[in-house]
Amino acid sequence: MTLKEQVIVSAYTGVLMCPMHDMCKYIEELLGRPVYTHELADPQVVAEIKAKAKPDFLALCSGNK
């Protein structure tokens, strides 16, 4: 699994599979704003991350990177 794939799966599932800073960078790109680590415990922020990461996650699942 590539680092990019690990980052996408980590952001979508909440199970950290890569360096935290790589996942946070991806999340910040998804949300278009800085994200602080304490926000990752906020259910609303988690739901927003999951919704925005879903297309990338589904592309991995279907084999369309």
Question: What is the pLDDT at residue 60?
Answer: 94
Structural domain span for residue 52: 3-62
Q: Is the pLDDT of residue 64 over 80?
A: no
What's the pTM value of the predicted model, to 2 decimals? 0.90
- Please, what is the angle between helix 20-31 and helix 3-13, to 10°? 70
Distance CA 47, CA 29 (A): 16
Total domains in the chain come to 1
Distance CA 36, CA 14 (A): 15
pLDDT tens-place string over residues 3-60: 999 999 999 999 999 999 999 999 999 999 999 999 999 999 999 999 999 999 999 9
What is the token pair recorded at 47? Answer: 């739901």
